[in-house]
Structure 1
């Protein structure tokens, strides 16, 4: 995935700059979504949610562009070798091995009886051992469940949520700043009008 990141991240930075947004906050969030194990549809939904905070129109075009670029930057998995090659290698391997020769031994009546006695003794022993194992398993039914995968997924979700909240805060701050600038502009305009009016008198 390092090759994908080295090619994709500069492109994404330029893309976000062209959309006039903070590539530091939104870039890491978008990369996190793309690197997740979610389906492409889920990734598209998440990206649409982010981009709706950045741009007002052509959101699906931008989303598709990001997904396409990500897919093109991902290293291509090695194409599976044709089945014919595998079959040919298997045939060679089997031919190279010497055929095993087995000779069947004839047992006397006495040897057969001894053999049967030993086998019956082992089969009884195996049955008893199985019962013991089952008893142990039922006694230890309260073993701790492995939650590693769930913990990792929860941590990834938490990181994405944190990045989303950061992006939302940044967007709100930018909006406030734009409103303040607009208000200052309006006030300056009004001030100029009143000054012009006073000069005319």
Structure 2
């Protein structure tokens, strides 16, 4: 950091003098912002706030020059870490893990009850059909009842019910995720406004 400061500070002093302002006050303030751990966007906002009190036009151009000079003076191993992206990456990682676990999860008690009810209903139906067949064809005891159709229908119903339950859960999770993202956006917006307000004081 020492090399960054030793190269950057003289340049910043000259820059602030060319803007006809007190380099002692504003120079240390600008350096403090640049050395902070905020994201590049937050630093840009803060610099725009300061420069708007010093100059009336070309604020974005001046901010760009200051950030560019600061980056060129920083040692390469001290490259800025994308702090804002860490939260987003962590959220994505947690979501992907949550999705992976839902595909491998155990049935809940409610789902087990539904499954058992469907299976018992169809086993009763096939038992009744077998009884009727035994009454009608008592002599042909070597014929076996084929329950494939009933089994396939039961499995299809179970899959549809399962898919419906999972779709409902996914819908609720998506809604929660959208609410969380909206809330995070609002909090970030409020934080920026508060920081701008404090800097102007």
TM-score by length of 2: 0.40
Higher relative contact order (CA 8 A, sep 6+): 1
